[in-house]
Structures are given as structure tokens and as C-alpha cells.
Amino acid sequence: DAGITQSPRHKVTETGTPVTLRCHQTENHRYMYWYRQDPGHGLRLIHYSYGVKDTDKGEVSDGYSVSRSKTEDFLLTLESATSSQTSVYFCATRARSSYNEQFFGPGTRLTVL
Amino acid sequence: TQLLEQSPQFLSIQEGENLTVYCNSSSVFSSLQWYRQEPGEGPVLLVTVVTGGEVKKLKRLTFQFGDARKDSSLHITAAQPGDTGLYLCAGNFGNEKLTFGTGTRLTIIP
């Protein structure tokens, strides 16, 4: 258990509204990641962070932004939600190893109507 | 962009049977991980393989890394209902990111 919590766990919103998802970790891990999981696509990386205020894009970053003002918190924002962003979102942290082993949070199920 | 292909995509077998799932790439991994995910939860790391030809065992699960480090397999002996879940392989290509396969959804029928 890497002490990762995500909030909210479920959210329903309407197209065009802003949405922020929060990931909180208690292990003081440097790296944090946001993924989305969709049927037939597996886990796809949205954005990741390698330190406070240090972030980079993943393979599906369009329409998403992130912020990391503290080691323990990594926020994912959908500036104007679209139906294509309906998904399950997972946060992960990276263990202190050479092999990029990751610990995942419980996920947030987001529905955009 | 590195791609990982997992096969089969779905597998449903009777309790007590053996099974193997596969993870393949055209690129060389620096290491590879297997995760299991249960409904409503995040993936959980099962094992990391690093060396070509490496074999690791976790109770009834046997993980093998290909000699060329481009493929891996997961073999389950005498499957049990508790093995039901989504099995994901993830390749580490030596950078800060993992590339995940699309997964094998395994159902064990009692």
C-alpha cells in the first residue's frame, strides 16, 4: 500500500464544465503520474511529474493540464470537459527503484454528459 | 512510440486448468512488469523481470522474460477463481514512463 488516495471517486458532470481531480500520496515519492483507462486502450499516460512544479506531457495530454505545488499532491484539470473524456482516471507514484515500478490509487470514474 | 501487444485479450477457463498469457513488443525492454487489476481498483504490481531469460515464480504464477527482452509470458498453474482479473504487462524502455499493454481479461469458472 503506497498511501495513494484519489478524490472524488466518482463524478458526473456536463460538457463544457471544468473538472479537477486530486491525487494525494503519503510516501514522499518524487514521481507521480496520471493515466486514463478505457476499454480496448489499456492505461494511457496523460501527464506526469518528476518533482514539485516539474511536469511533462504523456501520450494523451490534449485537453488536460496538471499542477504539482507540493510533493504529496498532483492535480489533474479538465478545463472544459468533453464526452470523450469520460473514463476512469488513475494516479500512480513511482517506487524508489531503477525499474519504474508504480503504485496506483483506487481510481476516479468520471462521466461527462 | 513503443507498442505492447497482449494476447489473448479475453480468456475464460475452468478452475484447475493451466493457462498462459503473452506480452510482445518490437522494441527491447530495459525491464518489464506484470500487474493485476480487480474491478473497481487500481492495478497492483505482481513482478518485475529484468534479465533476458529470467524466470520468476509467485506461488502458482510463473513469469518469464524472453531472451531478447522483447517479450514475456505469464503462466498460471491450476487456476483458481481468485485469479480472475485483468492482467497488464508494462514495459520500461529506460525512460521515466511505462508503456502498458491493453491487457488480458481472465475469468476462472468455478
Confidence (pLDDT) at B104: 96
Distance set, CA B31 to CA A3, B52, B54, B76 (Å) = 25, 9, 11, 21
Residues 6+ apart with CB under 8 A from A39: none
Given CB atoms, is B103 within the 8 Å cutoff of chain A?
A: yes
| Cross-chain Cβ contact B97/A45 below 8 Å | yes
Interchain pair A100, B97: CB under 8 A: yes
A59-66: list long-range contacts, CB under 8 Å, 24+ apart.
A59/B1, A60/A36, A64/A34, A66/A34
Tell me if chain B has a CB within 8 Å of the CB of A22: no
Band of pLDDT at residue A99, cut at 50, 70 and 90? confident
Residue B43 with chain A: CB contacts under 8 Å: 43, 90, 104
In tens, the pLDDT along A62-85 reads: 999 999 999 999 999 999 999 999
Contact B44 A104 (CB under 8 A): yes
The yes-or-no verdict on residue B54 having pLDDT over 60 is yes
For A17-63, write each residue's pLDDT tens digit.
Answer: 999 999 999 999 999 999 999 988 889 999 999 999 999 999 999 99
Chain B closest-CA separation from residue A107 CA (Å)? 6
Q: Which three cell numbers stand for residue B62?
A: 510463473
Are B43 and A104 within 8 A, CB to CB? yes
Contact A90 B43 (CB under 8 A): yes
Q: Is A105 on the interface with B (CB under 8 A)?
A: yes
Confidence of residue B90 (pLDDT cuts 50, 70, 90): very high
